[in-house]
Amino acid sequence: MVHEYIEKLLNTRLDDAACRLIEQETHIVHFPNGYTILREGDSSLHFYFMLSGIIRGYYIDEKGNDITKCFCMENGVFATESLRTKSPSSFTIECLESCKCIKISYDLITGIMENNNEIRETVNKLFQREIAKLEFRIKDLVMLNAEERYNHFCKEYPELHNRVPLKYIASYIGVRIPSLSRIRKNRK
């Protein structure tokens, strides 16, 4: 049952009305490796709970390079700024592995939040946690050298450095691939 996955991921209990809505209006979706879930400039009306796999969010700069914004994997949640702004996405979301997700509409999650204080607080904590991660990432990019940024990435995402291509990790921590290769070689 989909609501049971959501309760587990949010670490909360949903009331019967929310459970019924979720069972009626959400579903589990599968995306193959390499699939683009959302392109920059498109609007999204959905929020996703990751059950398995890895996705990556990325920007394209003026030279055509893609720059990794974020990763999301099992037990994570992803969406775009459309949830807050109702505007098109400023980044692209692609699957780095085959993914299994719960797809839930923004309207449904908003409606559940309006009627359930506990769910509203839980979702707000999720957003606060994401904002805190962004703040730490910005601080790391500004304050740490490349080796320190890679070490922090490995600590923050211990299972990703073996599952994600090196070029995406390099892009995420703001270094070139040869530099990251040297850093990894020196760590051994």
Task: For residue 154, give the amino acid letter.
Answer: C
Using CA atoms, how far residue 101 sits from 5, 16, 68, 104, in Å, is 10, 22, 21, 9
Residue 142 lies in a domain: no
Cβ atoms of residues 95 and 53 within 8 Å: yes
Per-residue tokens: 174? 């703001």
pLDDT score at 64: 92
pLDDT value of position 122: 83
**What is residue 103's predicted lDDT score, i.e. its pLDDT?**
93
Residue 145: its pLDDT value, please?
95
99 within 8 A of 52, measured Cβ to Cβ: yes
Is residue 172 included in any domain, yes or no?
A: no
Give domain status of residue 170, yes or no: no
Burial class of 164 by CB neighbour count within 10 A (0 to 12, 13 to 18, 19+): buried
Confirm if 25 and 105 have CB atoms less than 8 A apart. Answer: yes
Contact 55, 93 (CB under 8 A): yes
pLDDT in tens, 44-87: 888 899 999 999 999 999 999 999 999 999 988 888 777 677 78
End-to-end CA, the chain: 45
Residue 161 within a domain? no
Q: What is the structure's pLDDT at 96?
A: 97
Q: Domain for residue 133, yes or no?
A: no
Total structural domains within the chain = 1
22: domain range? 2-115
Q: Which parts of the chain sit beneath pLDDT 70?
A: 83, 188
Task: Give domain status of residue 179, yes or no.
Answer: no
Give the tokens for residue 162.
């073996």
What is the C-alpha to C-alpha distance for residues 188 and 175, in angstroms, rounded to an integer? 19
Q: What's the CATH number where 60 sits?
A: 2.60.120.10
Decide the pairing of beta strands 77-78 and 46-52: antiparallel
Q: How far apart are CA 59 and CA 65, in angstroms?
A: 8
